[in-house]
Structure 1
Amino acid sequence: MPDFSTQKRLAASVLAVGESRIWINPDPEVAGEIADSITREDIRSQIEAGNIKAKPKKGNSRARYRVRAAKRAYGHQKGQGRRKGAKGSRSPRKVVWMTKIRALRSNLKELREEGEIDRHTYRMLYRKAKGGEYRSTAHLNAYIKAKGLTRSD
């Protein structure tokens, strides 16, 4: 079988794909005809004749990824040995803070609207939350209970 490197290069250029994706008909009867094709015009005529084609793109299967992602969603495969990057890079400090402060503020708002706390207490607790005094809504509620800040009507 003759060397079709020039034909492959030209065909790749004409079809706008990589050389590895070029298929040339292995039939010995057509080989001489393809070997004589040395211009782009010749290559185009061979493509039309079906002697040169572009192989389809190969895709990577996502099946294994989906299985792994499902396990991770469940909490598996997330151990120490799997982690790269600092704690703050896996869940940025700002995102952690935003999640926490939104929860605290909505909790405070709820308590104020239900009449559990008055507006002065709300303001004081709001400022303390902003200052980072409470770890969580549970911590905030425990503080309110311990200090007896709820309205006892």
Structure 2
Amino acid sequence: VKQLIDSGAIKAKPKKGISSFRSKKIAEQKSKGRRKGRGSIKGAKGARNPKKKAWMTTIRALRTDLKDMRENREINKTSYRKLYRMAKGGAFRSKSYMKTYARDHDLLR
């Protein structure tokens, strides 16, 4: 058997493995922004962007905006407190909605 191996009559078969070509290709496409449509999304509605995270981003934006408005003397302390409480209660979905409310209810100076 050793002679046959030395002469080249018997050769070892190459080791088989799982190719990572397809997974690399898909990862490259995803980095470009492909394959991310509605049909590719798995999990619940709040799985990719949890409700708490969404709430945190909106409330932080509202509170910083309120503080800026108070510092720039656009609103007084009482209206600031009122809007702050309303924001905490979920009355406004964005800064623009809050400003519209303040404008409509004569809370701006």
Common topology (TM > 0.5)? yes
- 2:69 aligned partner: 111
- 1:18 aligned partner: none
- Structure 1, unaligned runs of 5 or more: 3-26, 31-54
**2:96 is the counterpart of 1:138:** yes
- 1:70 aligned partner: 32
C-alpha spacing 1:122/1:59, structure 2 compared with 1 (3 Å): farther
3-state secondary structure, aligned to 1:88: coil
User: What is the rounded CA distance, in whole Å, between the counterparts of 2:72 and 2:53 in structure 1?
Assistant: 29
Aligned sequence identity (%)? 40
User: What is the rounded CA distance, in whole Å, between the counterparts of 1:28 and 1:70 in structure 2?
Assistant: 50
Provide the TM-score with structure 1 as the length reference: 0.55
Q: Deviations over 1:79-115 (max 9, x none)?
A: 2x12211111121110010011001111111111111
Matches within 5 A, 1:37-76: 60=20, 62-71=24-33
Provide the TM-score with structure 2 as the length reference: 0.75
User: What is the rounded CA distance, in whole Å, between the counterparts of 1:138 and 1:115 in structure 2?
Assistant: 18
3-state secondary structure, aligned to 2:92: coil
C-alpha spacing 1:132/1:63, structure 2 compared with 1 (3 Å): same
Q: Give the 4+ runs in structure 1 shifted more than 6 A.
A: none
User: What is the rounded CA distance, in whole Å, between the counterparts of 1:83 and 1:94 in structure 2?
Assistant: 20
- The alignment's C-alpha RMSD in Å is 2.9
User: What is the rounded CA distance, in whole Å, between the counterparts of 1:64 and 1:119 in structure 2?
Assistant: 55
Point out the structure with max Rg over C-alpha.
1
Q: Which of the two has greater helix per residue? A: 1
